[in-house]
Chain A
Amino acid sequence: MRPEPTIDLDNAFYWEGLRDAEIRLQRCEACGRRRTPPLPACPDCGDPRATIEPASGRGRIYSFVVAHRAFSPAFEADVPYTVAVVELEEGGRMLARLEGGDGPPRIGEAVRAAFRLRGGDADETEWTEAFFVRAPAGGDEGEPG
């Protein structure tokens, strides 16, 4: 069984956003920087005031790893799988599965968010996972950032 996300008072809006197929970021009302994962104050200026805003779902690969073995039984069927740190267009970074595309992923490659339901069986909580999809070969990916 896959571990479920621990939803708390600070991050509930984020997981609710994913359920609505939307990545929601906090924008600091003092310095304007956007952040994720959720934090009760801005890690750059310390201001607690934030507005929650939707992100476009577009981003670029900052780094990635390819797991060739599972470290727990829940992920054995997924091997090999890729996890990336994606830099969102608006700011902030997300950790997510990376799927699609031809050939090995490239740092700087453009990706877009997609969403899927997880859990929901008798003894599991239902939650939504955000993952990122690479553009198919030949598509307009823009220049690596």
Chain B
Amino acid sequence: MQPAAITGVGYTALSHASGTSVLELARSACAAAIEDAGLDRSEIDGVASFMLNDDSVPCLAVATALALPEQRLVLDLNLGGQAPCHLVSLAAQAIRCGQARHVVVYRAMNGRSGARVGAMHFPGLGGAYRYPIGYESYLMYIAMWARRFLFETGQGEEDLAAVVLAQREYALRNERAFRRKPLDRDSYLGSPFVVEPFRGPDCTIEVDGACAVVVSALDRARDLRHPPAVIRASAYRAGRRAGLDIGDHLYWEDYTRNYTSWLRDDLFREAGLAPSDIDFAEIYDCFSSTVLMGLEGLGLCERGESGAFVRSGATRLDGALPTNTHGGLLSEGYLHGMNTVAEAVLQLQGRGGDRQAPRHDHGIVTSGALMDGSALILGRDR
């Protein structure tokens, strides 16, 4: 079986209003990722992406605009932030089976000037119980879980603040980041609530833009421009009673544990690693609470101790586990977690610049916030 690795990453600029079509954003980010890998477009034989409510363009449109040759793997998923690690995993599985050699995975959206995920109504049977009463944004669903999580684990606004401030510090070292204004505890606590317990800085910033990565067969990856980010383990998991649609959590039993708690054991087992072996983490963070829940769910710290862990400086560059080194979706911008994967690749490859984690042999990255999601462990070659 042929192992797989991520070989290149590509971005467009992130903006309030791209003035560009979503197809052009997608094409541009994919072309940049292929170029970054050092591949010729004639070698790409797979394309994978995801969208919500038709807010993006299908893979074959992008393959056509990129003048790609015939495609052997095409995956268009109707999913949100659960998808990036999951798509990389599916691409890697196809490569392992010999069904594809190089798959470009992207997310493209005019997520601020066009369709905005934050206020979208999602199709599905759960909407009947949400939308008529004004429970109508992802922000509210995550806030509902955050309240219960903070209550049960004995944590609070100081712990959310710690995440936001630590990530904003990273953003100062990331030219791509959308929010780069320094933020201190008092300014955080002085920010008005949007949906309690979340203030403005607890929420990701919606942007226009695109991000892509290339997943390649490892035998070819070894000849390419950058050191391969080898996919050591991957997992997708939907917990039981996952609900009626992407925004329905009424059947989910425990709002203090998301999919990370359910995929953790399989993920580490496949990698042959323990949480203590992980050098850096990129945790999906549409909202601040999901970082705390992810750190605890993955076993990177004990239950109820994630806030103290972040406040101790452990997630800073000189800490035990640099986390969300691009500033997260909170600061860099909301490319739906595709950029979370790309940042993990840059770190693993040692291309993090001013924000490079000193140890980067193994990194963990997640996609998703609630009932279902996915994760990868990336490692250096050999």
Q: Which residues of A lie under 8 Å from residue B118 when comparing CB positions?
A: 71
> Is A56 on the interface with B (CB-CB < 8 A)?
no
A95/B129 in contact, CB under 8 A: yes
Q: Is the CB of B134 within 8 A of A93?
A: no
Query: A30 in the interface, Cβ–Cβ < 8 Å?
Result: no
B352 within 8 Å of A (CB atoms) = no
**A68–B195 CB distance below 8 A:** yes
Give the interface size class of chain B: 35 or more
Instruction: Contact check, A68 vs B193: say whether CB atoms are below 8 A apart.
Output: yes
Q: With an 8 A cutoff between CB atoms, is B127 at the interface?
A: yes
Contact between A3 and B131, CB atoms less than 8 A apart: yes
Report how many residues on chain A are interfacial, defined by Cβ distance under 8 Å: 42
Decide: A64 near B144, CB < 8 A? Known: A37-B250, A43-B241, A93-B250.
yes
* Residue in B closest to A68 when the chains form the complex, CB atoms: B193
B154 to chain A, nearest CB (A): 12
* Minimal beta-carbon separation of A77 from chain B (angstroms): 10
Set A7, A65, A71, A78: member contacting B128, Cβ < 8 A = A7
B126: A residues at CB distance < 8 A = 37
The answer to whether A118 and B193 touch across the interface, beta carbons within 8 angstroms, is: no
The docked-state distance in angstroms from the alpha carbon of A70 to that of B119 is: 10
Closest A residue to B124 using CB positions: A6
Minimum CB–CB distance from A116 to chain B (whole Å) comes to 11
The answer for the CA separation of A127 and B128 in the assembled complex, in Å, is: 12
**Interface residue? B255 (CB, 8 A):** yes
CB <8 Å contact, B134 and A66? no
Residues of A within 8 A of B (CB): 2-8, 10-11, 35-37, 39, 43-44, 62-72, 74-75, 78, 81, 83, 85, 93-97, 107, 118, 127, 129, 131
* Chain B residues in the interface with A (C-beta under 8 A): 118-119, 121, 125-137, 139-140, 143-145, 147-148, 151, 192-197, 240-241, 244, 250-251, 255
